[in-house]
Structure formats: C-alpha cells, structure tokens
Copies of this chain bind each other. A is one copy, B any other.
C-alpha cells in the first residue's frame, strides 16, 4: 500500500517487460494528476470518450456493464498497480464503466502523453500492450468460469485469483489479504444472485477452506481451494515464478 508513482508502475511494467534506463526515465517523467475518490463513485462511464487513463495507486476499483434489463455484470476487479482503462488510449468510446470499490487514490495520465512515450520506445509500448492483454486473458478465464463451472467452483476460483493477484503486489500477509468486497459485488462478478453468494460463501467456510473476518480474508486450505475452483494461475501471465505458489494440495502460499 506504501508504493507510489512511479515505482508502482515500474514494478508492474518490469514484471512484464524489459525496460532500459532511458525507458525508466521516460516513464518516470509522465505527468500524473493524482486524485482521491470516495467509495462507490463513478470514475468513467459507459459511452464516455475519455482523454486520460488512470492507474490505481491505492484502493480498489471495478469495471461494470449494465444490461437493458437493469442487471449488472462486473467483468473485472482492479488492485493497486493496475491501469483499468488503459485500453481507452486505443478505443475511443467506453463500452463499460469504472467505479471505485473502496475510497481510493488514482493517478490520471493524458492519452497524448502515453502516445508520446509509446512513440519513443517500443519496449514501453510492449509493456502497456501486455497489461491490456493480461486483462483480456482474465476476461477469457472469467467467461470460462461463469460459463462452465458451478457457483461453488466459480467462487473458489475467484477467491484464488484475487489472493494471487494481491500477493503479486505485496498486499498479502502470510495467508491473509484485504477483502473489501460486498457479497453483491461478488455476485455480479460471477453471475449469481446475492442470496446464492451468501450461501456459497457459507459452504466454503463450512468446509474449512477459508475464513472471513470483516475486511480480511484468511485462507485455511489453499490446496483444496485451488482444487475446488479448478484454478491454474497460468492465465495471469505472472512472469516471476516465485510469485505464483504451486496449487498442489497442502501447499500454503507464503
């Protein structure tokens, strides 16, 4: 939580691309407009044509899409270090909106500055491109999750992903991590009703796989959680092998 710009962006870009010293200097000079948002506030709306993109410096953000029937899908959750709407540098009109999930600190960058930086270095472009492609890989996996697995398995899978991603940016302590999500947000993420999320979470707790104390998640049986969720972190494309705990039974992430 202590990381600030530009280190948070370095860390992310370097986990997926090789930057030269000059590239690092270029990125560090990106003009950043830092703003605080309260909980549950719109950052960008569907239909907007933004001229900036933002990175999450602190707190959590989610993407959402509304259907004509008034229901809501959350296709992605974002944690510090992520750039949720980086794709808007290339696609003009937003086909989804973004909201703050918790109070959060966001760093806004002008699209024109991003384009300028990208024109100077293909390595940097590559890094940004990859960030958007990892997002796409997560969409694919979520689609598979929602399309093919039971609610119980889906939820286990989501929890595994969140834990691993939190871990990759240093937000976990031992087998615990922040858990800022309401049951309704989880429901909209995996496409079930909030009543059913409640019962499914009770099952996971009842089976001794995890514990939820207020705003903290505690993993009690990582092996079985991965197994129940059919979770394989390949799709997250994390470069550093040490960042990914193996999912065999009994191996607790450290």
User: Interface of A with B (CB < 8 Å)?
Assistant: 47, 63, 65, 67-69, 71-73, 75-76, 87, 90-93, 95-96, 115, 118-119, 122, 125-126, 129-130, 132-137, 139-144, 146-149, 188, 190-191, 230, 234-235, 237
A142 contact from B76, B90, B143, Cβ within 8 A: B143
Indicate if the CB atoms of A146 and B143 lie closer than 8 Å: yes
Residue in A91, A95, A115, A139 whose Cβ sees the most chain B Cβ within 10 Å: A95
Contact indicator A146/B95 (Cβ below 8 Å): no
The verdict on A95 contacting B237 (CB below 8 Å), with A90-B130, A122-B118, A144-B65 known, is yes
Complex formed: what's the CA distance from A225 to B90 in Å?
30
Min CB distance A47 to B, Å, is: 8
Contact A73 B147, beta carbon cutoff 8 Å: yes
Residue of B nearest to A96 (CB): B140
B91 touches A148 (CB 8 A): no
Question: Does B126 lie within 8 Å of A90, measured CB to CB?
Answer: yes
Does A143 contact B75, Cβ atoms closer than 8 Å?
Answer: yes
Interface centre among A122, A126, A139, A149 (most CB of B within 10 A): A139
Report how far A190 CA is from B148 CA in the complex, Å: 10
Task: Report the 5 A-B pairs with minimum CB-CB distance, sorted nearest first.
Answer: A147-B191, A139-B139, A136-B136, A73-B144, A95-B235
